[in-house]
Amino acid sequence: MKSKAPKPKPLSRFNYTVARQQILDTIRRIPKGKVASYGHVAFAAGWPGRARLVARVLGDVEVSDGVIPWQRVINAQGKIAIPKDSPGHRTQIRLLKAEGVVFLNGKVSFEHHGWEPGDPSPLLD
């Protein structure tokens, strides 16, 4: 039987506020033309094992202002996590394609478009 990583402890209101800011700061660092998985963002933000927390934070944020490049966060399989045929799904694909991200069979290649926290980013310029 495989051993699983321990389940993360619940967050207090304070920790959620801190985690939210760190996650949003991490997402802002993903450059145009690059993507990261929810789990990768959680890890880079200092919250390993909290991919669902990243999804929750993005769900709670006003993303239409363009300040948070939410479209650059996809699932670990390289797919859009928003339900297919929804306006959000189509918008995310459109935004990513406009940045030069290529989809093959509905997936993005992390090898070609994956972001690593050590990569140059707009906030570091």
Interval 6-62: pLDDT, tens: 666 667 776 889 999 999 999 999 999 999 999 999 999 999 999 999 999 999 887
Is residue 112 over pLDDT 80?
A: yes
Q: How far apart are CA 32 and CA 115, in angstroms?
A: 10
Per the structure, how many domains does the chain have?
1
Q: Is residue 125 part of a domain?
A: no
Of 124, 123, 125, 111, give the one whose Cα is nearest residue 34: 111
Q: Is residue 91 part of a domain?
A: yes
Residue 25 is part of which domain span?
Answer: 13-114
Q: Is residue 103 part of a domain?
A: yes
CB 20 within 8 A of CB 14: no
Pairing relation of β-strands 103-104 and 107-108?
antiparallel
Q: Is residue 59 part of a domain?
A: yes
Q: Is residue 120 part of a domain?
A: no
Q: Is residue 122 part of a domain?
A: no
pLDDT of res. 117: 81
CB 82 within 8 A of CB 9: no
Residue percentage of the chain with pLDDT more than 70: 83
Tell me the average pLDDT across 2-7. 59
Q: Is residue 4 part of a domain?
A: no
Query: Domain holding 91: CATH number?
Result: 1.10.10.10
Q: Is residue 97 part of a domain?
A: yes
Residue appearing with tokens 């390289």: 78
Is residue 116 over pLDDT 50?
A: yes
